[in-house]
Amino acid sequence: MKSKATIAVCGLMDSGKSTLIKSLLRKNTGRVIEPDALCIEQATGRTITGTRIACPVNDHTDLVFCDCPGHLEYLPEIVSGLCASKGYI
């Protein structure tokens, strides 16, 4: 069983949170993943729900990035992402 370290990625809107996660995943796995999976998120360019995406580091460890919303109106999602994480950026 792999160990997982969850890292919340937080910041203001349009600060590059989702872009950072996409870049890290593409570099480490070669996969292109869209953290904002909901249709409304893609249409508006706003993260609404905290999305968790696993990125394998080696055979024993995954980093799990939690892409937190950057809008205060989604504060419960931000708090949830932070509480479920071992660290944050």
pLDDT at 37 over 70: no
* Number of domains within the chain: 1
* Residues spanned by the domain of 81: 3-88
> pLDDT per residue over 10-23, tens digit each?
998 888 888 898 88
Mean pLDDT of 31-55: 72
Mean pLDDT of 22-44: 76
Read off the pTM.
Answer: 0.78
pLDDT at 3 over 70: yes
CATH number at residue 34: 3.40.50.300
Mean pLDDT of 17-30: 87
Percentages of the chain per state (helix, strand, coil), in multiples of 5: 35, 25, 40
User: 21: closest CA among 61, 69, 53?
Assistant: 53
